[in-house]
Amino acid sequence: MNSQVPVTVLTGFLGAGKTTLLNRILTEQHGQKYAVIVNEFGETGIDNELVVDADEEIFEMNNGCICCTVRGDLIRILAGLMKRRDLDGILIETTGMADPAPVAQTFYVDQDVAAKTRLDAIVTVVDAVNLATHLNEAHEAAEQIAFADVILLNKVDLVDAAALAAVEARIKSINPYARIVRTERCGVALDQVLGLDAFKLDRVLEIEPDFLDEDHTHEHEEDITSISLRLDQPLEPVLFNAWFSRLLQQKGQDILRSKGILHFAGEDQRFVIQGVHIGRAYADGQQSPGAVAGRAASIQAGLHWPQSGQHGSARGVRGV
């Protein structure tokens, strides 16, 4: 019996549906005990708040990318988890800007991690609507596909048959080996993403011969930044919606991702907002315990605009 703990890496570009997939895994009746590591590019954690209330422990890694600046944090968290004997597996949700190669490398070049864990699979969630845009925006989108063992082609209900065929062809041109599973809202059977024993080092070395070189580094585009906001008072819904609509109209094509947990004045529950470029959607959140006046409202956006315009836009955000 293999005593190494299996690790599944959930990756995919900003807004593809990684957290939705993670929540589906955690809410299924599988009888397994998982530890969950969630990484966010920005300094304010949002995704950990969006993960469902489950028995699993959630470990946050914020204000940096798991593939570079906070990679040491990943090793320290894994070292702590390896002291436990009650885990059936570990789930890692990367930031949407992560290159999965350095994350996977961790399970081979760090001797302690390699001895006690094994990389089961890299599962990449792909946005069927926005894939072409994502591939043009950042090289990480292509890397996430290239290193995938399984690709969940998500949001297939939002594109027509011709567009879907074109997206699948583009994926196969990058990675002809990965199994593609079409999904809506990441609805997938767990045996399609867990317990696969699918990650093969030989195939990865064909793609990236220097994969095991510890000096191999990953750098993000300098003009991709994150802005995070926290407010200590409820938002006025009319004013917020007017501001956010204006922001999307003016800068929507440059906003790779927006997400937040909002407390509106007069409401006893929080609202979740999610967006990719100009698209956005609201959903009811959980009840706010106790007094709600001090609840935080947060917006986190992956921004891709010239440095000259960044500070002016940030001032507009603070002026809500």
- Cα–Cα dist 69/209, whole Å: 23
Worst-scoring range by mean pLDDT, 94-98, 131-135, 165-169, 302-306? 302-306
Give the pLDDT of residue 56.
Answer: 66
Does pLDDT of 186 surpass 80?
yes
Give the pLDDT of residue 73.
Answer: 80
The secondary structure of the chain, three-state, reads CCCCEEEEEEEECCCCCHHHHHHHHHHCCCCCCEEEEEECCCCCCCHHHHCCCCCCEEEEECCCCCCCCCHHHHHHHHHHHCCCCCCCEEEEECCCCCCHHHHHHHHHHCHHHHHHEEEEEEEEEEECCCHHHHHHHCHHHHHHHHCCCEEEEECHHHCCHHHHHHHHHHHHHHCCCCEEEECCCCCCCHHHCCCCCCCCHHHHHHHCCCCCCCCCCCCCCCCEEEEEEEECCCECHHHHHHHHHHHHHHHHHHEEEEEEEECECCCCEEEEEEEECCEEEEEEEEECCCCCCCCCEEEEEEEECCHHHHHHHHHHHHCC
The pLDDT confidence band at residue 52, using thresholds 50, 70 and 90, is: low
Q: Are 145 and 126 in contact (CB under 8 A)?
A: yes
Does pLDDT of 158 surpass 90?
yes
- Cα–Cα dist 88/150, whole Å: 20
Does pLDDT of 77 surpass 50?
yes
Distance of CA 139 to the CA centre of its chain: 16
The pLDDT confidence band at residue 230, using thresholds 50, 70 and 90, is: confident
Does pLDDT of 277 surpass 80?
no
Q: What domains are defined for the chain?
A: 5-207 (3.40.50.300), 224-318 (3.30.1220.10)
The pLDDT confidence band at residue 313, using thresholds 50, 70 and 90, is: very low
Cβ-count burial 58-74 (b if 16+ within 10 Å, e if not):
bbbbbbbbbbbebbebb
The pLDDT confidence band at residue 293, using thresholds 50, 70 and 90, is: very low
Q: Say which residue the tokens 């885990």 belong to.
A: 87
Q: State pTM to two decimals.
A: 0.76
